[in-house]
Structure 1
Amino acid sequence: MLITTLLFIATALAEIIGCYLPWLWLRQQGSPWLLIPAAASLALFAWLLTLHPAASGRIYAAYGGVYVVCALGWLWAVDGEPLQPTDWIGAGLALAGMGVIASGWR
C-alpha cells in the first residue's frame, strides 16, 4: 500500500510539473527551454502510469484523489497560496472517495 501511494504521488508530481512548466513559458514569459523538462516530466508521467497495479478506471479514480491533494500541496508550496478550509475539506472528501473506490466493494 505504501509503495502504491508513493507511486501515486510521484505520478501526480510528474503530471503537475509537466503542465506547470509550459504554463510558466506561456503565461509568465518563461524561457522556451522550459518545454524540454516539461516534455521529460510528461514522459515520466506516462511511464509511471504503466507501473500502477492495473490500468483500470478504479486505479485512475484512486490516483485522482491523490492528484487533488498533491495539487493543493503545490498551490501552497510553489504558488505560495495559503490553503482555505474548503481546500482541506475538498481534499478530505477526495481522499475519502478514493478510499471507497480503491476498496472495490462488490
Structure 2
Amino acid sequence: MAGAVGIYAGAAVAEIAGCFAFWAWLRLGKSMLWIGPGVASLMLFAWLLTRVDAAFAGRAFAAYGGVYIAASLVWMWAVEGTRPDRWDLIGGTACLLGAAVILLGPRSA
C-alpha cells in the first residue's frame, strides 16, 4: 500500500505538470518550448502507473483518479496561488476515500 501511495503521488505530479505545460502554452501565452518537458512529464506519468501492483489496469487507473483530484487541488494552491475552499476539500476527501475503497477493498480471487 505505501508503495502505491508514492507511485500515485509521483504519477499525479507528473501528469499535472505535463498538462500544465500545455495549459501554459495555450492559455497563458508561454513559449512552445514548454511542450517538450510537458510531453516528457506525461510519459513519466504513464510509466509510473504501470508500476502500481494491481491485477487490472482499470482498477489501478480508477484508484488513481481520486489521488489525481486531490493532487490537482494541492497544485492549484501551491503553483497557482489559489487556496482550495471547503467544497474543494470536501470533494477531494470524498475522492480519496473512494480511491481507498477501490484500492484496498477485499477481493474474492
Give the TM-score normalised by structure 2: 0.90
Q: How far 1:40 sits from its partner (Å)?
A: 0.7
Aligned equivalents of 1:46 and 1:98: distance in 2? 18
Q: Distance in 2 between matches of 1:4 and 1:76?
A: 24
- CA distance in 1 between partners of 2:23 and 2:10 (Å): 20
C-alpha distance in 2 between matches for 1:71 and 1:99 = 17
Match of 1:41 in 2: 41
SS in 2 for 1:51: coil
RMSD, aligned CA? 1.2
Pairwise mapping of residues 1-106 of structure 1 onto structure 2 (< 5 A)? 1-54=1-54, 55-106=56-107
Greater mean alpha carbon deviation, residues 4-13 or residues 58-67: 58-67
Where in structure 1 do 4 or more consecutive aligned residues deviate above 3 Å? none
**TM-score w.r.t. structure 1 length?**
0.92
Identical positions, percent = 45
Q: What is the number of residues matched between the two proteins? A: 106
Structure 2: give runs of 5+ residues left out of the alignment: none
Q: Offset of 1:103 from its aligned partner?
A: 2.2
Q: Take 1:31 and 1:9, find their aligned partners in 2: how far apart are those partners? A: 28
CA contact (8 A) 2:49 2:60 kept: no
